[in-house]
Amino acid sequence: MSDTRIAVRKTYKLYIGGQFPRSESGRSYVVQAADGTPLANAVRGSRKDVRDAVRAARGAFPGWAARTAMNRGQILYRVAELLEGRRDQLRDEVALAEGLDSAGAGEQVDRSIDRLVWYAGWADKLSQVLGTVNPVGASYFDFSIPEPTGVVGVIAPEESSLLGLVSRLAPVVVSGNTAVVLASEGRPLAAVTLTEILATSDVPGGVLNLITGHRTELVSWLAAHMDVNAIDAWGVPVDQLAAVQVAGVENMKRVVRPPRGGLQTFDWLDDGRAQRPEYIAAFLEIKTVWHPIGM
């Protein structure tokens, strides 16, 4: 009997509402390593999958936004702890996807964990930093209070399969938003592993939803969806940004653009550029409340 064994490639599923469904379309595509070696099969999401993910995110939004800031910070910190436990698997997936050696991929994973911890620490500080009591010339108190925008569509960066995704996703959810993520098309495996970690964490189902598939189909559907309140377009090529903005005009979505010139030279390991409180503020609304001063 031969000792040669053919590896069984895994089919990575979607993550919607805390569950792992296959696409209703039944389609999938082959995910390859940086050197062209087939690694696994990924679900090729459909328009209905996008709708289902947005519906799940909308349903989870009130409960997630109502949680205390401290609790959201604790939950994100717990996700970082679980990533630490799956570090070796994530390192191998990042190495294969991005053509890095073990040390380089390990650094990407370590910084992803550290970035989650960093944003978790901001959860209970946002109101103090971004909110204020405004001076007014009348017998009123005037408060400005940051509140989450709602459902945010996140187009993950194609170049950085884990660190780039975490860097854009953490500032969206830490303040109470829910998210529908379009994973990297060519490098989705680390993102799907992240959802497997989320499923065993304290993150409520529907807060984070992940769609894999062809971006030529998915980006336009997500950008045009009327129940999506904002789009993080950092993963959209510069020459396609105008189309995304046009798609979002009908319900006045906020579109957060990538740095000038795109992400080709962006260093995700640079903490000074890749993690900033301004990235959290980009997905917040400032509510102003007037309250009469009592006698």
Instruction: Please give the domain boundaries of the chain with CATH numbers for all domains.
Output: 11-292 (3.40.605.10)
DSSP string, the chain: ----------EE--BBTTB-PPPTT--EEEEE-TTS-EEEEEE---HHHHHHHHHHHHHHHHHHHHS-HHHHHHHHHHHHHHHHHTHHHHHHHHHHHHT--HHHHHHHHHHHHHHHHHHHHHTTTHHHHH-EEEP-SSSEEEEEEEEE-SEEEEE--SS-TTHHHHHHHHHHHTTT-EEEEE--SS--HHHHHHHHHHHTSSPPTTSEEEE-S-HHHHHHHHHH-TT--EEE-TTS-GGGHHHHHHHTTTTT-EEEPPSTT-STT--TT-HHHH--HHHHHTTEEEEEEEEEPP-
Whether this prediction's pTM lies above 0.75 is answered by yes
Question: Above 70 in pLDDT, residue 80?
Answer: yes
User: What does the pLDDT read at residue 200?
Assistant: 93
Angle in degrees, 0-180, between the axes of helices 189-199 and 69-85, rounded to the nearest 10: 120
Among 125-134, 156-165, 225-234, the least confident range: 125-134
Residues 173-221 pLDDT 10s: 999 999 999 999 999 999 999 999 999 999 999 999 999 999 999 999 9
274 confidence band (pLDDT: 50, 70, 90): very high
User: What does the pLDDT read at residue 83?
Assistant: 96
94 confidence band (pLDDT: 50, 70, 90): very high
Percent of the chain at pLDDT > 90 equals: 76
User: What does the pLDDT read at residue 1?
Assistant: 53
User: What does the pLDDT read at residue 141?
Assistant: 84
Residues 240-254 pLDDT 10s: 899 999 999 888 899
270 confidence band (pLDDT: 50, 70, 90): very high
Residues 21-59 pLDDT 10s: 988 888 999 999 999 999 999 999 999 999 999 999 999
Mean of the pLDDT values across residues 257-275? 90
